[in-house]
Structure 1
Amino acid sequence: MPSAYRKNTSWRGQARINGQRKTKDGFTTRREALEWASEKERLAKESKSRDIPDRPFQDALERYRDTISITKRGQKFEIRRIDRWLGKGDARPDPLVYIPLEDLQSKHFAEWRDRRLQEVAPGTVLREWTVLSAICSQCAKEWGWLHENPMSRVKRPAEPDSRTRRLQEGEFDQLMIATQYDLINPPESKRERIGAAIVFAIETAMRAGEICNMSWEDIDLERRTVHLPKTKNGNPRTVPLSTTAVTVLKGLQGLDDCKRKAFGLKSDSLDVNFRKIRSKCLIDDLHFHDLRREALTRLAKKVDVLNLAKISGHTDLRILQKVYYAPDMAEVALMLD
Structure 2
Amino acid sequence: MPSYRKRGGVWRAEIARKGIRKSGTFNTKAEAVAWATAEEAKIMAGKVTADHTVAELLRRYVTMVSPKKANRNTKFEYNRVEALIRDYPELAAKKLSDVRAADWAAWRDDRLNGNGERKAVAGSTVSRDLNLFSAAFMTAKREWGWIHESPISGVSRPRDPQPRSRRPEQDEIDRICLALGYTTDEPPETATARCGAAYLFAIETAMRAGEIVGLRLQDIHKEKRYAHLPRTKNGSARSVPLSSRALAIIEQLEPLGHDPLFGLTSSQLDALFRKGRDRAGVEGLTFHDSRREGLTRLAKIFNVMELAKISGHRDLRILQNVYYAPTAEDLAERLA
TM-score of the two chains, using structure 1 as the length reference: 0.81
* Cα 1:185/1:141, change in 2 over 3 Å: same
Match of residue 75 from structure 1: 74
Match of residue 327 from structure 2: 328
Q: CA deviation at 1:159?
A: 1.4
Amino acid paired to 1:101: L
Stretch moving more, 188-197 or 157-166: 157-166
Match of residue 159 from structure 1: 160
CA deviations on 1:74-116 (whole Å, 9 max, x unpaired) are 12221111111121xxxx3343202111112222111111111
- Where structure 1 has 5 or more consecutive residues not aligned to the other structure, the ranges are 1-39
Matched, 1:86 2:81: no
* Cα 1:49/1:155, change in 2 over 3 Å: farther
* Cα 1:214/1:139, change in 2 over 3 Å: same
Cα distance in 2 for residues equivalent to 1:280 and 1:126:
33
Match of residue 62 from structure 2: 65
Stretch moving more, 241-250 or 102-111: 102-111
Match of residue 208 from structure 1: 209
CA contact (8 A) 1:212 1:264 kept: yes
Cα distance in 2 for residues equivalent to 1:55 and 1:304:
52
CA contact (8 A) 1:49 1:102 kept: no
Match of residue 307 from structure 2: 308
* Cα 1:44/1:165, change in 2 over 3 Å: farther
* Cα 1:48/1:168, change in 2 over 3 Å: farther
Stretch moving more, 48-57 or 278-287: 48-57
Match of residue 128 from structure 1: 129
Cα distance in 2 for residues equivalent to 1:287 and 1:108:
34
What does 1:1-337 correspond to in 2, within 5 Å?
51-72=48-69, 73-87=72-86, 92-118=87-113, 119-256=120-257, 258=258, 260-337=259-336
Stretch moving more, 218-227 or 145-154: 145-154
Q: CA deviation at 1:278?
A: 1.8
Cα distance in 2 for residues equivalent to 1:122 and 1:198:
28
- Percent of aligned pairs with the same residue? 45
Cα distance in 1 for residues equivalent to 2:108 and 2:46:
25
> What is the DSSP-based 3-state SS (H/G/I as helix, E as strand, rest coil) of the residue aligned with 1:197?
helix
CA contact (8 A) 2:180 2:192 kept: yes
CA deviations on 1:20-50 (whole Å, 9 max, x unpaired) are xxxxxxxxxxxxxxxxxxxx99887676786
> What is the DSSP-based 3-state SS (H/G/I as helix, E as strand, rest coil) of the residue aligned with 2:97?
helix
Q: How many residues align?
A: 294
RMSD value over aligned CA atoms? Answer: 2.3
Cα distance in 1 for residues equivalent to 2:75 and 2:109:
25
Stretch moving more, 194-203 or 299-308: 299-308
Q: CA deviation at 1:54?
A: 1.4
- Where structure 2 has 5 or more consecutive residues not aligned to the other structure, the ranges are 1-36, 114-119
CA deviations on 1:213-268 (whole Å, 9 max, x unpaired) are 11111101111110111111222111110000000001111214x1x211111112
> What is the DSSP-based 3-state SS (H/G/I as helix, E as strand, rest coil) of the residue aligned with 1:226?
strand
* Cα 1:144/1:253, change in 2 over 3 Å: same
Q: CA deviation at 1:334?
A: 3.9
Amino acid paired to 1:83: E
CA contact (8 A) 2:43 2:49 kept: no
